[in-house]
A and B are shown apart, each in its own frame.
Chain A
Amino acid sequence: MPTAKIPPVLRASTGGEKEVDVDGETVGDALRSLASQHPDTERQLFGENGELNRYVNVYKNDEDVRVLEGLDTPLAGTDTLMILPAMAGG
């Protein structure tokens, strides 16, 4: 089962969990699996049109899914999804 890594700013929405096991054969399915387990993440991940929000970067292992097949990018059980927020602290 793929693992989704949760950034600190989203952990309030996952009950503090840093990693969540997610179901799905694509990135989109996996993120929706995350959203169904932790509904508060849905609004942060997806826009009203069901697309990934532009300010959310999602990586399959070390590659941005935007340069792969986006939400349709296939996932294997050993893959890791990294949800990455921009940070501006200095």
Chain B
Amino acid sequence: MATGAELIRQIKERIEEVDPREVNDLVEGGPNGTLIVDVREQHEFEEAHLPGAKHVPRGHLESRIETAAPDKSKRVILYCQSGNRSALAAHTLQELLGYEDVASMNGGITLWKDRGYDVEVPRSLTAEQRSRYSRHLLIPEIGLEGQMKLLDAKVLLLGAGGLGSPIALYLAAAGVGTLGIVDDDEVDLSNLQRQVAHSEERVGMPKVDSAEIAIKGINGDVNVVKYQKRLDASNIMEIIEGYDVIVDGVDNFPTRYLLNDATVRLRIPVVSASILGFDGQLSVFHPYEGPCYRCLYPTPPPAELAPSCGANGVLGVLPGVMGLLQAVEVIKLVTGAGEPLTGRLLLYEALGATFTELKVRRDPDCPICSRDPESISDEEMGVFPDYEAFCAAAG
């Protein structure tokens, strides 16, 4: 009876072995019909593997190879850590499963790495993350890839108030990796009717700190970046740059226009909502892929037609409804799932329980988004024709 080492040596004489250099030429040459299969265990594959390699662990070779390599006439190159397991697997494919063109890579991934060739280091979720996000992983539109995108995403919330509160909580729960929060306000008792990220014991605390506590309570992995300041022309560019999506829940027109102009300049999509009384509006402004805020509202209304929630009141649940619709749009933008609300304005009227959708077109004469983003100057940002009068009237 042969020893294990002798058996491997004998089998290697009966199969084709290829040098890593030949495999590297194939990898660098792009798609060519040759399939590269890693036959090691899951944890070895997850550590690092050849670029584009499929994974069929040797223990499941017979039952799974046909899914990975359905065409038995096509060339298959197997590899493992050092070239022994892949030789045995190649022998199985060739002698028992009828694969016509099989080879084993000599020296395995060890020799491959010694030669300095590229490896892919796949990212994966920890066991805890797999459990936490299991309901996302089960829906194909999100799945592992979408969850990874969420974990990598940087989302900026403008305002930690009525809209910002539910958004912060749900995006934290969804696993958005970085949540920036801009708010210069402190928690007030009158906020608690709707601003669910805050609490009685945090009245008087800066909202960014209170929101951070709420976020961390749900998901300690979220990186919270706090900006306890009011967004203005002097700080907007440095605050928003680098974020993937911005969520607009600010409570005044000048900041909405300023935000629009800065985000068009930086090409950052904005998920925008506004609320008053029992009414809410929602849209996604994705620069150059759809209209911008100025295409929809070229100028703000005079102050008497633009009352604030502080002056006119708002149903406490309404920002919950609208904020969560915003959170859904953020997740869609980050993961690429579904149809974002770009070029559409969704109106919600709570008393009648009606949703209405209106079309929003890009304005070919838009003072901002009809132009090259680099041509938008600092001086123009946030300016609209009656700016001075508007701000004076608004007090």
Chain A: residues with CB nearer than 8 A to chain B? 7-10, 18, 44, 54-57, 59, 62-64, 67, 82, 84-90
A88 touches B253 (CB 8 A): yes
A90 touches B164 (CB 8 A): yes
B305 touches A90 (CB 8 A): no
Contacts of B279 in A (CB 8 A): 7-8, 87
The winner among A8, A10, A88 for most chain B CB atoms within 10 A is A88
A9 touches B307 (CB 8 A): yes
B356 touches A55 (CB 8 A): no
B359 touches A90 (CB 8 A): no
Contacts of A54 in B (CB 8 A): 298-299
Q: Within the complex, which residue of B296, B299, B358, B361 is in contact with A82, where a contact is CB–CB below 8 Å?
A: B358
Not counting A57-B297, A62-B358, a sample of 20 additional A-B residue pairs whose C-beta atoms are within 8 angstroms of each other reads A8-B276, A8-B278, A9-B276, A9-B301, A44-B305, A59-B358, A62-B359, A63-B358, A86-B297, A86-B301, A87-B275, A87-B306, A88-B251, A88-B306, A88-B308, A89-B251, A89-B309, A89-B314, A90-B248, A90-B251
Contacts of A67 in B (CB 8 A): 361
Q: Binary interface profile of B, 102-117, with partner A (CB < 8 Å = 1, else 0)?
A: 0000000000000000
The 7 residue pairs across chains A and B that have the minimum distance between CB atoms: A90-B249, A87-B274, A89-B309, A86-B297, A55-B301, A90-B251, A89-B276
Q: Within the complex, which residue of A18, A62, A90 is in contact with B274, where a contact is CB–CB below 8 Å?
A: A90
Which of chain B's residues 134-172 have a Cβ closer than 8 Å to chain A? 158-159, 161-164
In the bound assembly, the distance between CA atoms of A63 and B352 in angstroms comes to 22
Contacts of B309 in A (CB 8 A): 89-90
- Determine if B242 is an interface residue (Cβ-Cβ < 8 Å): no
Contacts of B275 in A (CB 8 A): 87, 89-90
In the bound assembly, the distance between CA atoms of A55 and B275 in angstroms comes to 17
- Closest B residue to A55 using CB positions: B301
Contacts of B256 in A (CB 8 A): 88
- Closest A residue to B318 using CB positions: A89
B306 touches A85 (CB 8 A): yes
In the bound assembly, the distance between CA atoms of A85 and B358 in angstroms comes to 13
A26 CB to nearest B CB, Å: 20
B274 CB to nearest A CB, Å: 4
A4 CB to nearest B CB, Å: 14
Q: A54-B298, A90-B273 are in contact. Are A62 and B250 (CB under 8 A)?
A: no
Contacts of A44 in B (CB 8 A): 305
In the bound assembly, the distance between CA atoms of A44 and B306 in angstroms comes to 12
B274 touches A88 (CB 8 A): yes
Q: Binary interface profile of B, 231-273, with partner A (CB < 8 Å = 1, else 0)?
A: 0000000000000000011111100100000000000000001
B371 CB to nearest A CB, Å: 19
Q: A85-B301, A85-B305 are in contact. Are A90 and B358 (CB under 8 A)?
A: no
- Closest A residue to B322 using CB positions: A90
In the bound assembly, the distance between CA atoms of A90 and B347 in angstroms comes to 15
Q: A8-B277, A54-B299 are in contact. Are A86 and B306 (CB under 8 A)?
A: yes
- Closest B residue to A54 using CB positions: B299
- Determine if B204 is an interface residue (Cβ-Cβ < 8 Å): no
In the bound assembly, the distance between CA atoms of A56 and B296 in angstroms comes to 10
Q: A8-B278, A87-B276, A88-B274 are in contact. Are A55 and B359 (CB under 8 A)?
A: no
In the bound assembly, the distance between CA atoms of A87 and B356 in angstroms comes to 16
Q: A44-B305, A54-B299, A57-B296 are in contact. Are A89 and B360 (CB under 8 A)?
A: no
- Determine if B220 is an interface residue (Cβ-Cβ < 8 Å): no
In the bound assembly, the distance between CA atoms of A84 and B297 in angstroms comes to 10
Q: A9-B307, A55-B299, A90-B275 are in contact. Are A84 and B358 (CB under 8 A)?
A: yes
- Determine if B357 is an interface residue (Cβ-Cβ < 8 Å): yes
Contacts of B159 in A (CB 8 A): 90
Q: Within the complex, which residue of B251, B252, B300, B360 is in contact with A55, where a contact is CB–CB below 8 Å?
A: B300
In the bound assembly, the distance between CA atoms of A55 and B299 in angstroms comes to 5
In the bound assembly, the distance between CA atoms of A84 and B283 in angstroms comes to 14
A65 CB to nearest B CB, Å: 11
- Determine if B217 is an interface residue (Cβ-Cβ < 8 Å): no
Contacts of A55 in B (CB 8 A): 297-302, 305
A88 touches B358 (CB 8 A): no
The winner among A62, A63, A86 for most chain B CB atoms within 10 A is A86
In the bound assembly, the distance between CA atoms of A62 and B158 in angstroms comes to 29
